[in-house]
Amino acid sequence: MKKKLFSFLLLLYFSLSSLALSIEYVNSSKHWSLIKNGPVTIDQAVKMFFEGRKIDKYEGVWTESNWGIVAIVKDGTNRYQKYVIDVGYPYLNGTLETTYYKTANPSHLTFFTRITWKNGNNYKYATSMGDLYYKSSNTLERNINQYASNPYGTFTRNWPLDYYKYNQQFVKTTDNKKKEPKKEVINQEKPKKKYDRYAPKTNYKNYWWVLILLALGAFFLYTKTVPKPKKIKRVTKSKPTGFKKDLINYWEGRVSYGFSYWVCLTIIGTLIALPSLYFFTDQFIDSASGIVLLILIIYALFVIVSQIYLIVGTWRSAEFYKAQKRKLKQSLIWGYLGQISIVLSVIRKFAEFF
């Protein structure tokens, strides 16, 4: 009965995982969105993105050939985003369509974009890669690598018509600079820190080496302490004497394989990492104080250590499970499937981080 229940739960887990991935592929991406949170007119685009500041050479409102009117706005220091304003699919107006990333060449951006095609009465979507080239202050050229019916296209500047003249109004000349006496400020409160989407953002990915060191340390500890299946001796399990004993038993893999995988690794591991979806966002981190950032660093280290602890304990439990099945000359498939899912999960987390 336990074996059938365990098999059913594992099959349900893989089915739900596959369904979630397919839904995410069809309806959303980190590079584009179907949410209407952008402008639908040129005036709205100017007020929302560009009013009162200089613009980058890629920024502005453009007319894209074979498509329509779009707005490109800088988001952070290394990327740009394109919103559709008035295109051939009216229900897409106001949505994020493309995310551009800088390359070593300042006149070349690479991008991930949304591709749309009709399927009966509905529409389907996919993500495609491409390149954008800066030709002049009023012209850009693009090339989409796949899926698109018109892979080559041209962007013609729609606003501002004179890029250099528009930016000149924000350059202070020597004649306009007047020295003003410093005013003494007494008991004036410091302005509160506000979130600025265009301010340079701290790139926490530069600390990737911390994760690598932790992962290597965990792997070294695992290789030195994991018992080999051939040398396993059957030991009568005694009742746990406390929480510390339970932690040791889990780390050594002396806990039920099903309990380790489903309760500890899947449920408890998810609950521990779940708050990071809210706290580790650019907007929250940029608006956080020094004490909050220190707490976030401690929490991040706790998440990393706990995930390593849960993965190592579950992996060892799977080794014990396979050793027992091998002695009984029974199938080892569930032990291997669990370990494969752990490896794929680790690879997916590293891929999302980088």
316 three-state secondary structure: helix
Residue-wise pLDDT tens for the chain (354 aa)? 444 444 544 444 444 444 333 333 456 788 898 899 999 999 999 999 999 899 999 999 999 998 899 999 999 888 999 999 998 788 899 999 999 999 999 999 999 888 887 777 778 888 888 999 999 989 999 988 766 667 888 999 999 999 899 999 998 754 455 555 555 555 556 555 555 565 555 565 566 667 777 777 777 777 666 666 555 556 555 555 678 888 888 898 888 898 989 999 899 989 988 888 888 787 788 788 889 888 988 988 998 898 999 999 999 999 999 999 898 888 999 989 989 999 998 888 777 765
CA distance 296 to 288: 10
Are residues 206 and 343 located together in one domain of the fold? yes
Structural domain contains residue 162: yes
Structural domain contains residue 220: yes
Are residues 203 and 308 located together in one domain of the fold? yes
Structural domain contains residue 349: yes
Name every residue whose Cβ is closer than 8 Å to that of residue 111 and which is 6 or more positions away in sequence. 31, 98, 99, 100, 101, 129, 130, 131, 132, 142
Residue 217 is part of which domain span? 199-230+237-353
Q: pTM of this prediction?
A: 0.45
Are residues 131 and 218 located together in one domain of the fold? no
pLDDT in the model for residue 18:
40
Structural domain contains residue 24: no
pLDDT in the model for residue 16:
43
Residue 43 · residue 155 · CB < 8 Å: no
Q: Which amino acid is at 174?
A: T
Long-range contacts of 125-128 (CB under 8 A, 24+ apart): 125/26, 125/27, 125/34, 126/25, 127/29, 127/31, 127/32
Structural domain contains residue 62: yes
Are residues 122 and 252 located together in one domain of the fold? no
Q: Kindly give the residue spans of alpha helices, DSSP state H, lying in the chain.
A: 2-27, 42-45, 163-168, 208-225, 243-251, 257-258, 269-273, 276-279, 282-286, 290-327, 333-353
Query: How many distinct structural domains can be found in the chain?
Result: 2
Residue 136 · residue 142 · CB < 8 Å: no
Report angle CA 206, 211, 215 to the nearest 5 degrees.
155
Distances (CA, A) of 151 to 98, 117, 143, 147, 224: 14, 14, 5, 8, 54
Are residues 295 and 335 located together in one domain of the fold? yes
Distances (CA, A) of 353 to 21, 61, 218: 18, 32, 19
CA distance 92 to 28: 13
pLDDT in the model for residue 44:
92
Rg (CA), the chain: 28
pLDDT in the model for residue 11:
45
CA distance 305 to 328: 35
pLDDT in the model for residue 99:
93
**Burial classification of residue 331, based on how many CB atoms lie within 10 Å of its CB (0-12 exposed, 13-18 middle, 19 or more buried):** exposed
Where residue 146 sits, what CATH number does that domain have?
2.40.128
Domain boundary among 125, 147, 168: 168
Are residues 210 and 163 located together in one domain of the fold? no
Structural domain contains residue 266: yes
Are residues 213 and 349 located together in one domain of the fold? yes
Q: Which amino acid is at 179?
A: K
